[in-house]
């Protein structure tokens, strides 16, 4: 797809940018540029309804008050990162998987699919345009947020005929504010998704539903919320924005299965692949909150970790709820958690061999 490049008339001054990238936090500041592509159901071009691709200044978007997204929530997004390689170059990690998942979300929300090569090209263009924003902190990255929303203005419950696809960037440091080597999680009495719903789609509605329980977790002094299934309130599903893994004393690993109620994480899939390559027994099966508590108490369960693009791999040290709390292992990162994290981060940053072609150099 041909992109029009719109020059930025007022980029962030270099001195101000340097202050930001030295201590970026997470998701607070955005870079100079963004990609935007329009979709119109009546347009018939080389890329179907997709047209008018631009790489231009990151700026507010005019939006009619009757825009469909504001009333019927047709909106999806993705999250991936650009990493600095050991040789000084930059790379993306599995952007093709993000492109595929984006289109799966689009189908579930009755939205148009975006050609995968256009998705990846859009990401590459904005990262290359704002490479100077790469954080200088250890472990820093450029967090990439591609998203799409319905912008046809009408009132009526039907799929829209007009959409916008955008990509914005945010320099990123540590995801969790506590900076602790292991996080504490709160067992929510709310549920995130039900069978047949949108749990497997990366749409804003799922995250909106998690805000009250996440706030409750924060109020009790914890870093994240953990959700149980909607049907029985028994089976562990995922955290507010991360998948979970359970490591046992015999070296085996369990992670909740993809049943349409949790997000099919790309980091999750990568961890499963890397663990199985090491000869580990990784099972995708249901695991209950009672099993989690009992296995932690008996010592059968030695580690729990969460994973996702934003926080990569993070140990879970403490679990709490209205019925009490329990500690997992020593309460800090275990050997398996650290080993898998180091291998994954090593691949992402070019210090460990990439046998799968996951790393895409820029």
Clarify whether residues 44 and 72 are in a common domain.
yes
Helix (H) or strand (E) run with residue 209 in it: helix 204-219
**Three-class SS state of 167:** strand
* Domain termination residue (choose one: 130, 152, 172): 172
Residues 56-90: pLDDT tens digits? 999 999 999 999 999 999 999 999 999 999 899 99
Answer yes or no: is 362 within a domain.
no
- Token digits of residue 340: 């898998």
Clarify whether residues 168 and 30 are in a common domain.
yes
The CB density around residue 14, as the number of other CB atoms within 10 Å, is 8
Clarify whether residues 40 and 154 are in a common domain.
yes
Look at residue 25 in the predicted model and tell me its pLDDT: 87
Clarify whether residues 290 and 145 are in a common domain.
no
Q: What percent of the chain has pLDDT over 90?
A: 90
Answer yes or no: is 282 within a domain.
yes
Question: What would the mean pLDDT of 228-233 be, rounded to a whole number?
Answer: 95
The 3-class SS string of 287-329 reads: CEHHHHHHHHHHCCEEEEEEEECCCEEEEEEEEEECCEEEECC
Show the beta-strand stretches assigned E in 85-187.
Answer: 90-93, 141-150, 162-172, 182-187
* Domain termination residue (choose one: 172, 206, 236): 172
CATH number at residue 39: 3.30.470.10
Answer yes or no: is 125 within a domain.
yes
Q: Which residues, in sequence order, are CB contacts of 73 under 8 Å at separation 6+?
A: 203, 204, 205
Answer yes or no: is 353 within a domain.
no
Residues 113-123: pLDDT tens digits? 999 999 999 99
Question: What would the mean pLDDT of 242-259 be, rounded to a whole number?
Answer: 97
Give Rg (Cα) of the chain.
21
Clarify whether residues 202 and 158 are in a common domain.
no
Identify which of 266, 223, 259, 260 has the alpha carbon closest to the alpha carbon of residue 243. 266
- Give pTM, 2 decimals: 0.95
Look at residue 138 in the predicted model and tell me its pLDDT: 85
Answer yes or no: is 305 within a domain.
yes
Clarify whether residues 145 and 204 are in a common domain.
no
Answer yes or no: is 75 within a domain.
yes
Clarify whether residues 166 and 187 are in a common domain.
no
* Domain termination residue (choose one: 146, 172, 198): 172
Answer yes or no: is 86 within a domain.
yes
Using the predicted structure, report yes or no on whether residue 147 has a pLDDT greater than 70: yes
Clarify whether residues 44 and 168 are in a common domain.
yes
CATH number at residue 200: 3.20.10.10
Clarify whether residues 139 and 168 are in a common domain.
yes
Using the predicted structure, report yes or no on whether residue 201 has a pLDDT greater than 70: yes
Q: Are residues 167 and 35 in contact, defined by beta-carbon separation less than 8 angstroms?
A: yes
Domain carrying residue 14:
3-172
Q: How many residues does the chain have?
A: 362
Residues 308-362: pLDDT tens digits? 998 889 999 999 999 899 999 999 999 999 999 999 999 999 999 999 999 999 9
Clarify whether residues 328 and 186 are in a common domain.
yes
Using the predicted structure, report yes or no on whether residue 228 has a pLDDT greater than 80: yes
CA 291/CA 312 separation, integer angstroms? 25
Question: What would the mean pLDDT of 257-273 be, rounded to a whole number?
Answer: 96
Using the predicted structure, report yes or no on whether residue 223 has a pLDDT greater than 90: yes
Show the beta-strand stretches assigned E in 256-298.
Answer: 282-284
Using the predicted structure, report yes or no on whether residue 8 has a pLDDT greater than 70: yes
> How many domains is the chain built from?
2
CA 263 to chain centre: 9
Answer yes or no: is 354 within a domain.
no
The rounded mean pLDDT for the chain is 95
How would residue 259 be classed by pLDDT, with cut points 50, 70 and 90? very high
Helix (H) or strand (E) run with residue 117 in it: helix 116-129
CA-CA distances (angstroms) from residue 61 to 34, 166, 321? 11, 10, 42
Clarify whether residues 152 and 196 are in a common domain.
no
Clarify whether residues 164 and 209 are in a common domain.
no
- Token digits of residue 304: 């729990």
CA 19/CA 207 separation, integer angstroms? 31
């Amino acid at each position: 797809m041909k992109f029009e490049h719109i020059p930025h008339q007022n980029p962030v001054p270099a001195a101000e940018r340097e202050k930001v990238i030295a201590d970026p936090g997470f998701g607070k500041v955005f870079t100079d540029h963004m990609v935007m592509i329009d979709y119109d159901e009546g347009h018939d071009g080389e890329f179907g309804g997709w047209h008018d691709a631009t790489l231009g200044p990151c700026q507010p978007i005019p939006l009619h008050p009757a825009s469909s997204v504001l009333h019927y929530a047709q909106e999806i997004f993705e999250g991936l990162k650009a990493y600095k390689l050991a040789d000084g170059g930059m790379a993306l990690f599995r952007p093709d998987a993000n492109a595929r998942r984006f289109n799966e979300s689009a189908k579930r929300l009755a939205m148009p699919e975006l050609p995968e090569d256009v998705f990846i090209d859009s990401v590459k263009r904005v990262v290359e345009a704002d490479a100077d924003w790469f954080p200088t902190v250890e472990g820093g990255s450029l967090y990439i947020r591609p998203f799409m929303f319905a912008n046809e203005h009408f009132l009526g419950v039907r799929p829209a005929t007009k959409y916008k696809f955008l990509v914005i960037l945010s320099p990123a440091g540590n995801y969790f504010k506590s900076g602790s080597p292991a996080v504490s999680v709160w067992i929510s009495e709310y549920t995130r998704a039900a069978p047949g719903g949108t749990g497997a789609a990366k749409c804003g509605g799922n995250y909106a539903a998690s805000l009250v329980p996440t706030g409750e977790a924060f109020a009790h002094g914890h870093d994240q919320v953990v959700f149980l299934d909607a049907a029985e309130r028994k089976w562990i599903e995922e955290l507010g924005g991360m998948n979970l893994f359970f490591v046992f004393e015999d070296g085996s690993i369990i992670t909740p299965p993809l049943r349409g109620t949790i997000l099919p994480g790309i980091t999750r899939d990568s961890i499963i692949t890397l663990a199985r390559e090491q000869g580990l027994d990784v099972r995708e099966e249901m695991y209950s909150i009672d099993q989690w508590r009992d296995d932690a108490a008996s010592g059968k369960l030695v580690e729990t970790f969460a994973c996702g693009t934003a926080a990569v791999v993070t140990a879970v040290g403490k679990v709490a709820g209205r019925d009490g709390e329990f500690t997992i292992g020593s309460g800090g990162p275990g050997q398996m958690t650290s080993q898998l994290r180091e291998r994954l981060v090593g691949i992402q940053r070019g210090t460990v061999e990439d046998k799968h072609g996951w790393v895409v150099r820029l």
